[in-house]
Amino acid sequence: MWRIFGIFILLNILIFGLLSTGVIGYIPNLDDLENPIDKYASQVISSDDKLLFTYSQSDDNRIFTDYSQLSPYLIQALVATEDVRFYKHSGIDIIGLGRAVVKTLLLQHESSGGGSTITQQLAKQLYSPRAKNKIQRLFQKPVEWVIAVKLERYYTKDEIINLYLNKYDFNYNAIGIELASHTYFNKKPIDLTVEEAATLVGMLKNSALYNPVRRPDLTQQRRNVVLTQMVKAGYLSEEEKNELISKPIKLDFNRANHTDIPAPYYRQHLAMVLMADKPDRRDYPASWQKQQFIEDSIAWAENPLYGWCKKNKKADGSNYNLYTDGLKIYSTIDSRMQKYAEESVREQMAYLQPIFDKEKEGKPYAPFSSSVAKEVDRLLANAMRQTDRYRGMKKAGFSEDEILTEFKNHKTEMKVFSWKGGEIDTVMTPWDSIRYHKSFLRAGFMAMDPFTGHVKAYVGGPDFKFFKYDMVSTGKRQIGSTIKPFLYTLAMEEGMTPCDQVLHVPQTLITETGQEWSPKNAGAGNVGEMVTIKWGLQNSSNWVTAYLMKQFSPYAFARLLKSFGLKSPIDPVVSLALGICDASVSEMVSGYSAFANRGIRVDPLMVTRIEDSYGNVIATFIPSMHEIFSESTSYKMLDMLRAVIDGGTGSRMRRIYNLKGQMGGKTGTTQNNSDGWFMSFTPNIVAGSWVGGEDRSIHFDRMAYGQGASMALPIHGLFYQKVYADPSLRISDDGIFEIPEQFRNPCFEPDKYSPEYYRNSQPVEGQGIDDIFD
């Protein structure tokens, strides 16, 4: 018997020796043990200190939380429930293990009370692969014991608890205690109450079974077990437990996903910027990609945020990884203003869409205009080639004709977008689904601080899940009449004033090729009369604008547009005066910031600083500013752009949305109503919006709804109403533009700069022009 016992002891020493050296089984190397969790989700924090979203690898959406940020109730509940002798053992609880062996092998109990310590459970989570055969299952538990002992050598008890809570998957993409606290209770871990901490600790037994969302009663029973264990361990009194177990579980559920989070378009754009590679011309092979290569190269050279992860290295010499390095990114986005912006876009688009659908009802080529009837199939085919289904079939070897036949004829179950319910289940062909989704109007909106460049709200489309193309930074469309203030700025810089008069008649300009160009002026008023330049901008007169274009070189105007921040190629032609060039919403907001900032344009700033996972500040960012025009010109432009709101094409801001505060702005509509724009600015905010179809051939046929004042302006009206109604933002409508006395009221009109005027005046209609015309 002694020989057998001796052999057993020697055999165990041999096996554990081989296990500890990694000869048999899997033992992590020293570096892995010293850095057991090196894949943390990066957090993006709003300017008002709210967690907006995270960046993580698809299988590891974890935010690391320091031990000091854990509620003491969490630690007490964990120790009492999972490992009451945690502070007395060195990785293996001999008493607990012996109890489990006796109950399981000798007494045949199904529930043995558990023999795994917290350290062993951590070892299993971190390193133990799933056993695939009997041999692996035989050594799985001994391997966990060896790893647990090693972990205890390298880490304190507090660090082990912290690692354990940061590793566990609590369901709903909430990996780690930080996201679990946010997902189920909308709190930080340190703010959890006793019963909330007990609920989360109870989930550690089986988070799928004890799911407070799907099985609240069962989860409450499990929570009460945890509370009872806390009494046994001396952390709670019997009276405290009795009071707590009677409470139902109260959740504030916030499921973590990347399509139903604040600012999803901002999230997508920020990741693209931070992780951008240094532009290489070989990655832009097509001729049409040349301009994008130029823009990206300039951004790489001039924008510190662009490609930040690839430009900066960690202490070990490797580049930062947005998805694995646990960065804390402090955003300029304000969570409240972002919420109001998203609500405003949704409300306006949900209102506008049924009107658009009714206009297109019964038309054979809907949602496209009849002028492109022959091109409908080509447009749909181009869209088809952008889908995952197409790329998958192409990779599988299907021909173009086979794919087209499949798309047009094979009906399949799918989810499609709807303003009535977010998404609906239906059956249709992929071809029809492409056409169906093209029928929805798109939008982009951005709000920014005109002095610091801090982007406060960023909405790239109506619904990120179905329409991922970002119409704030990525998408560019013709800007129409929103270009006019830039031309008027050139005129003011060259010595003209808002009060200079022009005969309001059609204008004819000669192009460089000798052709005549005579712009139309729909709904023109005051024809044949002398009007001021200010009146021309106020009412968006194409004739006054053409007159100004006649006075200056298109080349000088094109250079000025570049100064305003427009990045696309600009042809120096006379028709440029009516906005035939393309720009993004982001570029236009940056350009209009100069009107509120005394001639100084500020680039949009999306991040103020970045910290590493240890809380060290590793990068800070400041606004980039550019002086475009003189301060005196800024006051002239301010006077004219405020007139647009007070009695011109933007007067709906006062008449419909009852906004009394000082404000400037400009509407914009392009050919065939393909694009509707509105730009606005106050003493605190500069904002821009665009509304239109995915393709230029998708548009309203009637100007009443197709103009910028009808499509894009309402987003601003709703947004400002919500912002002004929130006292926590401390942004009111009583702010005023600071204008020196000599620049006030240049045309001797009623004093519209006094706060009393805005408190007592009633909104007025356009001056001699129906305000439906832009």
Q: What is the pLDDT of residues 536-586, one digit of tens each?
A: 999 999 999 999 999 999 999 999 999 999 999 999 999 999 999 999 999
- Is 169 strand, coil or helix? strand
Decide if pLDDT at 112 tops 50. no
Going by C-alpha positions, the residue among 181, 198, 199 that lies closest to residue 190 is 181
Distance CA 506, CA 534 (A): 18
- Is 567 strand, coil or helix? coil
Token pair 């990525």 is found at 474
Q: 268 vs 60, 331, 409, 441, CA distance in Å? A: 18, 14, 34, 21
Decide if pLDDT at 720 tops 90. yes
Give how far the C-alpha of residue 222 lies from the chain's centroid of Cα atoms, to the nearest Å. Answer: 37
Going by C-alpha positions, the residue among 588, 586, 635 that lies closest to residue 484 is 588
| 80 and 230 Cβ atoms separated by less than 8 Å | yes
Least confident of 123-132, 171-180, 486-495, 672-681: 123-132
Decide if pLDDT at 181 tops 80. yes
pLDDT of residue 771: 39
Bridge-based pairing state of the strands 42-45 and 328-331: parallel
| Sign for the pseudo-dihedral over CA of 338, 343, 348, 354 | positive
| 340 and 726 Cβ atoms separated by less than 8 Å | yes
Helix axis angle, 194-203 relative to 238-245, nearest 10°? 80
| R_g over Cα of the chain | 32
| 599 and 628 Cβ atoms separated by less than 8 Å | yes
Decide if pLDDT at 756 tops 50. no
pLDDT, mean of residues 33-60: 75
Distance CA 521, CA 544 (A): 10
In the chain, what percentage of residues exceed pLDDT 70?
Answer: 86
Decide if pLDDT at 289 tops 90. no
Distance CA 324, CA 102 (A): 43
Q: List pLDDT tens digits, range 649-658.
A: 999 999 999 9
| 597 and 460 Cβ atoms separated by less than 8 Å | no
In the chain, what percentage of residues exceed pLDDT 90?
Answer: 63
Going by C-alpha positions, the residue among 173, 175, 71 that lies closest to residue 125 is 175
Name the DSSP letter for residue 287: G
| Sign for the pseudo-dihedral over CA of 702, 707, 712, 715 | negative
| Sign for the pseudo-dihedral over CA of 318, 324, 328, 329 | positive
pLDDT of residue 753: 44
Q: How many beta carbons lie within 10 A of that of residue 525, not counting itself?
A: 17
Name the DSSP letter for residue 91: S
Tell me the one-letter amino acid at 143.
V
Distance CA 23, CA 17 (A): 9
Going by C-alpha positions, the residue among 80, 118, 113 that lies closest to residue 231 is 80
| 117 and 96 Cβ atoms separated by less than 8 Å | yes
Decide if pLDDT at 18 tops 60. no
Name beta bridge partners: 665: 680
pLDDT of residue 710: 96
Bridge-based pairing state of the strands 516-517 and 509-510: antiparallel
pLDDT, mean of residues 282-297: 85
- Is 608 strand, coil or helix? strand
Token pair 């609920």 is found at 199
Average pLDDT over the chain reads 87
pLDDT of residue 749: 61
Name the DSSP letter for residue 68: G
| Sign for the pseudo-dihedral over CA of 766, 770, 771, 774 | negative
Q: List pLDDT tens digits, range 308-326.
A: 999 999 988 999 999 888 8
Q: Full-prediction pTM beyond 0.85?
A: no
For residue 528 the two structure tokens come to: 């044949």
Diameter of the chain measured on Cα atoms:
121
Distance CA 576, CA 484 (A): 9
Q: List pLDDT tens digits, range 224-234.
A: 999 999 999 99
